[in-house]
Structure 1
Amino acid sequence: MSTTREVRGGIDIIGVLDKMTVCGDTEALNNRAADRQYRQNLVDASRLLADRAFSDHEESAVRQAHAVLAKLYDWYFSLPSLEQANSSLESMLDDVREVFENAMIDDLVTRSDQDSLSTVPDDPQAFLPWYRQFISRHSASDHPFYRDFLENRATIPDVRFYLAQETVLDPRFDDILALLIRGTTGPEKMELVSNLWDELGNGTDADIHTSVFSETLDALGVTPAFIADNIILEATVCGNLSAALALSKRHYYRAIGYFGVTEYLTPRRFRSFVIGAKRLGIDKSAYRYHDMHIQVDARHGPSWFKNIVAPAVAREPGCAYDVALGTQLRLDTSTSYLNALQKTLDVDR
């Protein structure tokens, strides 16, 4: 465990989290959680780093802040040890997470295209037609990384590099759906459950999507070490934002926009991946995951709009802006990620 002096200095938040998240001493964790000064020092150090990252936009601080969030989300999406389950560790991690999460989202919202959101209709009948147009006009809806690079020019090393980036979201998507289901009713719950059941292979172990994705990584030698060595910042941003929107119920309406457009764009993106994989002669085991989603998400994308987004706007017309904002955040961060990915791979040629 870190000392109070180390925390107050704000020198190494990652180091502090490393020690806290592997600590198996329930009493030590609870003592830390009960130490108000320690927790305040931890929050103060977090705010210093978050300000440097998301207000001052210092490059090194941005990378550190996203590393902190990635570390936190690894913990939140994992089972705790028995000692941690009986401790107040989560309350301390919540303190840190809130600081970085709020700063990250506020920064992304500030940098989003507010003009494109100025015409969001709150009329349920008008919303979906506007919404589809809103998505189709964005550059992310038909990005050349998929349509051109993956289909026509990518090499097998490029594909491996790309798959490493995709690990920030795909292995967690079933858990994300489970989180979104909380409190929903009617067609919203049924659509989310249907989506989750497909992610779980419709009850067939061999077809559970996270397992099939792991097979894809194994087939191309995308190991945890390879991922750690090659992950780019823009991919980490996408993964962190996905986790942030899913974990907090206050972001529910943004989340259904964010993940709805993710589902909607998946079939065309994964079709490009399969075309490129076949061109390269890659074994089918390396693209079975993508092949499955072309069919599944061709249904889930439109159904998500009809059964989740539309009922939400009909029930709470004021949520239309948040749904559109969540969609905008997904489209913007996806574009930044794909631009950076293609630039990185083109430079390496």
Structure 2
Amino acid sequence: MTSTLFPPSLDTASAPMRLADRIAQQLAWSEDEFEAHYADPSLLAELVNWVGELGTAAAAGDADAQFAQQYLLSRIYAVHTQLPSGPTAEGSVALHAVTRRLEQDTIRNEDAWIDEAVYASIPDDPDAFVPWLKALTREHQAFKHPYYRSFIRDHATEEDFRRFVLHESSVDGRFDDLLALMQVGTDGGVKLEIAQNFWDEMGNGDPAMVHTTLFGRLIDHFGITSTELAESLSTEALLSGNLAVMLCRYRNTFAEAVGLLAVTEWLAPDRFSQVLHGWERLGLPDDGITYHRLHIGIDAHHASAWFTNVVKPMTADPRNRRAIARGALWRLNTSSRYLDRIIGLNAAA
């Protein structure tokens, strides 16, 4: 992977992250500055082609390329989901071309993890879809992953919990924003269910109980800095967060987002019960576990209501059934790889 976009000293052939980070820095340019820099069609084509080469290398298993790909996508998503303190390239057409290539390659890579035979097993009867999806989830490694059922529950140290919270920030830290993005364009019972879920995330109007505020207490308890949050996530954690943002921000992947959120909500109560057990085993401050304690009960209700009020009404359309299954499998597969990875990080620490 060579490039003339930046000086040869960047050595992009051996360190794709260096070029990814340079592009990430350009996100702080204004839209006009970014457009002017890539006004030469050949330069923009070279940039998009490099991103494509990055995706090809990532699909082939190149760990450096996988990280650079997801790091760059996460930095771009931050431009689209966080209020800026200065100029950004958010509206740039050139940036959109880069973003779409990153997204398309990520989608292609995740689809490659799915056995097409699973789609053939989707029931024709819409009423049978939810039981089928739950059975599919129960059979997946991610359903009762040993990271939660054994490691966090019975063996994790306080430092292991710190690492857990750091990586969970990729999704849990802004779950309310995902719901806000997701509800755009919906109506009826589906919109009301998303709204109820969102209002619960808002602490039902109590600022002290807003779930992002509660998660922030965990961040503060462990002294995790904004620099760590931006720079210390694994490829798998970045991917998990990126997939959630991608599916929730685009209207044509709404059904995939429904599947991803269905699995997320359904797995959360059991997972968080193990987190609570491990937290109490270590005698850590009770105030730090409020977020997970609340979600044990809340997400059990959300999962049931989500299947009833969002998933089930969509299953009359066979295209929705396939898309919901696709999003659920993306969540299960990435969760499994993420948890395998974090167990490895703990073992290596």
TM-score, normalising length: structure 1 = 0.90
Choose from 147, 150, 154 the match for 1:148: 150
Residues 121 and 130 in structure 1, CA contact (< 8 A), matched pair in contact too: yes
Instruction: Report the AA paired with residue 65 of structure 1.
Output: Q
Residues 220 and 286 in structure 1, CA contact (< 8 A), matched pair in contact too: no
Q: Which residue of 1 aligns with 2:70?
A: 66
Q: Which residue of 1 aligns with 2:23?
A: 17
Q: For residue 338 of structure 1, report the CA deviation from its aligned partner.
A: 0.9
User: How far apart in 2 are the matches of 1:7 and 1:45?
Assistant: 12
Q: For residue 108 of structure 1, report the CA deviation from its aligned partner.
A: 1.2
Deviations 1:236-265 (A, max 9, x none): 221122222122222111111011110111
Q: 1:218 to 1:80 in 2, by over 3 A?
A: closer
User: How far apart in 2 are the matches of 1:8 and 1:44?
Assistant: 17
Q: For residue 27 of structure 1, report the CA deviation from its aligned partner.
A: 4.2
User: How far apart in 2 are the matches of 1:132 and 1:230?
Assistant: 33
Deviates more, 1:186-195 or 1:141-150: 141-150
1:57 aligns with 2:89: no
User: How far apart in 2 are the matches of 1:322 and 1:301?
Assistant: 18
Deviations 1:15-39 (A, max 9, x none): 4433422124x64245346554443
Q: Secondary structure at the match of 1:141?
A: coil
Deviations 1:180-206 (A, max 9, x none): 101111111011010011111111111
Residues 263 and 301 in structure 1, CA contact (< 8 A), matched pair in contact too: yes
Q: Which residue of 1 aligns with 2:273?
A: 271
Deviates more, 1:241-250 or 1:304-313: 241-250
Residues 253 and 322 in structure 1, CA contact (< 8 A), matched pair in contact too: yes
User: How far apart in 1 are the matches of 2:33 and 2:344?
Assistant: 47
Choose from 107, 119, 144 the match for 1:105: 107
Residues 71 and 235 in structure 2, CA contact (< 8 A), matched pair in contact too: no
User: How far apart in 1 are the matches of 2:280 and 2:83?
Assistant: 37
Residues 247 and 257 in structure 2, CA contact (< 8 A), matched pair in contact too: yes
Q: For residue 83 of structure 1, report the CA deviation from its aligned partner.
A: 4.5
Structure 1 unaligned blocks of 5 or more: none
Q: For residue 82 of structure 1, report the CA deviation from its aligned partner.
A: 6.6
Q: Which residue of 2 aligns with 1:48?
A: 53
Q: Which residue of 2 aligns with 1:39?
A: 44
Aligned-residue CA RMSD (Å) = 2.3
Q: Which residue of 1 aligns with 2:80?
A: 76
Residues 256 and 324 in structure 2, CA contact (< 8 A), matched pair in contact too: yes
Q: 1:141 to 1:318 in 2, by over 3 A?
A: same
Q: Which residue of 2 aligns with 1:337?
A: 338
User: How far apart in 2 are the matches of 1:343 and 1:83?
Assistant: 39
Q: For residue 230 of structure 1, report the CA deviation from its aligned partner.
A: 4.2
Identical-pair percentage: 31
Q: 1:63 to 1:147 in 2, by over 3 A?
A: same
Structure 2 unaligned blocks of 5 or more: 13-17
Q: Which residue of 1 aligns with 2:185?
A: 183
TM-score, normalising length: structure 2 = 0.90
Residues 265 and 303 in structure 2, CA contact (< 8 A), matched pair in contact too: yes
Q: Secondary structure at the match of 1:139?
A: coil
Q: For residue 344 of structure 1, report the CA deviation from its aligned partner.
A: 2.4
Q: 1:144 to 1:78 in 2, by over 3 A?
A: same
Q: Secondary structure at the match of 2:315?
A: helix
User: How far apart in 1 are the matches of 2:238 and 2:135?
Assistant: 28
Q: 1:92 to 1:204 in 2, by over 3 A?
A: farther
User: How far apart in 2 are the matches of 1:132 and 1:36?
Assistant: 48
User: How far apart in 2 are the matches of 1:104 and 1:272?
Assistant: 31
Q: Which residue of 1 aligns with 2:305?
A: 303
User: How far apart in 1 are the matches of 2:84 and 2:289?
Assistant: 32
Deviations 1:128-178 (A, max 9, x none): 121111111112111111111111111111100111110111122111111
Q: Which residue of 2 aligns with 1:288?
A: 290
Q: Which residue of 2 aligns with 1:174?
A: 176
User: How far apart in 1 are the matches of 2:24 and 2:129?
Assistant: 45
Q: Which has the higher helix share?
A: 1
